[in-house]
Amino acid sequence: MQRFPRVECVAARKDHAAEATSGGSSSRRTFLKQSCQFAAATALAASAIPHVHAGEDNTIRVALVGSGSRGSGAVAQVLQTKGPIKLWAMADLFSNRLEGSLKALSGTMEGRYDLDPTSGLSNRIDVPPERRFIGFDAYRKAIDCLKPGDLVVDAAVPGFRWVHFRYAIEKGINYFMEKSVAVDGPTCRRMLELARKSKERGIKVAVGLQTRHCRSRLELLRRIQTGEIGEIFSMRAYGLGAAHGMTQRPEDISELLWQIQNFSRFFWTSGGGFCDYYVHQVDECCWMKGAWPISVQATGGRHYPSNGMDQNLDNYAAEYTFEDGAKLHFYVRMMPACHNENASYAHGTKGCAIITAPGFLPGRPRIFRGQNFAADQKIWSYPEREPSPYQMEMNDLIEAIREDKPYNEAENGTMACLAAIMGRMAAHTGQIVTRDEILNHEHEFAPDADKFTLDSPSPLPAGPDGTYPGPQPGLLPDREF
């Protein structure tokens, strides 16, 4: 069995009391109510940061690739970091989404980001029409507007992540990529090779697994590593939420663009809901354990035939095994009107810990004696209001760029997605799946993703009834559709 070294998060682990914060919990999709106040404060703080050389322009120019809710929220948080920084170019497949994002970020449209023209963000946006690009080659045009050392924020469909990352490396551009970063074995291998190349070139790379930048979880990690709960032998994680079904494709949009618009419903675009939505829980449990799983067995099924338009199952249950025999039990349910919970727990030989409390943000980690999470057995909890991990990950990245610190999360992000892919594939094939099998698996969902145009057919054609091929455990033991 191939061994993988433990890969540590490169986020700076400073005293949380010294960190600049943006307030309590936040979601990148809904943004945070405190963004206006934080942006104003950081705009003032920017004037206090000295230039390295007199007269030198230290402005970091940012290109946003993929301007949906994830990308717009991510770039808004980038613009709230310290120092001179500007949104300089934008790229998307859909012009209405790009223009809507720009209006929201500029504070000229009320909406999910809760921004207004006095927030300071509008002064950090300079995207004239000639730096707004539409189409499958738009990412190249936006990145070409940057200079080496600038930053691309990539929140486009994960199936294209390796394509965009490869070009950013060629151009010497620092890179933030939203999860997921890979969708199958071949793209995992490709991303690991690109991670190696980006490190060799000194490119700063961040991945949108923001819990690794959560100051409360970093403190929990430190306590676990110093033995406060003993050796971890079991973990539990839950991704229980609403259904993610979809309707039939309208006639006025191509199959390819329709699937991209509904990317979390398809394996080639996102890795499917199991990977795209719930890789956070897999990642944070492996982080606390200090290891990646070597094998997994899983089950899953459909309960609602009406949800058959997409490729996801309605529920999953996965049992991951680590090299020392420890287990991670992970449960996913995407069904309406059921108990919802996004949480993670660790059990050690001396006690237990809440990694993430139900609700996901804020994390509210805690440590207990025994194994029952009883209130009277609690021996530690994070003592302060938690700063937003979404903002912290951007603060850490921009600080690394400005101070030229080694900073690269590409390998960690790929390994987290590989672990999620293992669980998904185990459920979809009905087989025990090992890490080596994924790394050597030859089936690629969209091998020509770097060649797509607006006229390209989708790599996943719909059937005559408008539905898509889905998992058939036992019938297709080596493929997922």
Please count the other Cβ atoms lying within 10 Å of the Cβ belonging to residue 1.
Answer: 9
- DSSP-derived letter for residue 59 is P
Query: Which residue from 377, 350, 374, 355 is spatially nearest to 366, judged by alpha carbons?
Result: 355
Query: Which residue from 14, 329, 40, 75 is spatially nearest to 208, judged by alpha carbons?
Result: 75
| Whether the bond into 389 is cis, omega within 30 of 0 | no
Residue 98: partners with Cβ closer than 8 Å, 6 or more residues away: 67, 90, 91, 92, 132, 134
CB 298 within 8 A of CB 318: yes
What domains can you pick out in the chain, each with its CATH number? 16-212+390-409 (3.40.50.720), 216-387+418-451 (3.30.360.10)
Burial 213-244 (b: 16+ CB within 10 A, else e): bbbbbbbbbebbeeebbeebeebbbbbbbebb
Residue 12 has which token pair? Answer: 């700076």
CB 268 within 8 A of CB 446: yes
Q: What pLDDT score does 477 carry?
A: 79
**d(C-alpha 368, C-alpha 232), whole Å:** 13
Q: How far is CA 193 from CA 140, 186, 187, 317, 339, in A?
A: 21, 11, 10, 31, 41
Residue 379 has which token pair? Answer: 């021996």
pLDDT 10s digits, 457-470: 999 998 888 888 88
User: Could you write out the DSSP letters of every residue in 218-240?
Assistant: HHHHHHHHTTTT-SEEEEEEEEE
Q: What pLDDT score does 243 carry?
A: 74
**d(C-alpha 368, C-alpha 163), whole Å:** 45
Query: pTM (2 decimals)?
Result: 0.87
Residues in the chain predicted with pLDDT less than 70, given as ranges, are: 1-56, 108-120, 244-245, 305-308
Q: What pLDDT score does 164 carry?
A: 98
Q: What pLDDT score does 306 carry?
A: 58
* Sole residue written with tokens 């492996």: 286
Strand blocks (E) in 16-112: 60-65, 85-92
Q: What pLDDT score does 45 carry?
A: 36
Q: What pLDDT score does 384 carry?
A: 84
Residue 328 has which token pair? Answer: 């991670």
Q: What pLDDT score does 308 carry?
A: 61
* Bridge partner list, 234: 327, 347
Q: What pLDDT score does 26 carry?
A: 39
Phi and psi at residue 61, in whole multiples of 5°? -95, 140
Positive or negative torsion for Cα 355, 356, 362, 364: negative
**d(C-alpha 108, C-alpha 100), whole Å:** 10
* Sole residue written with tokens 């300079």: 126
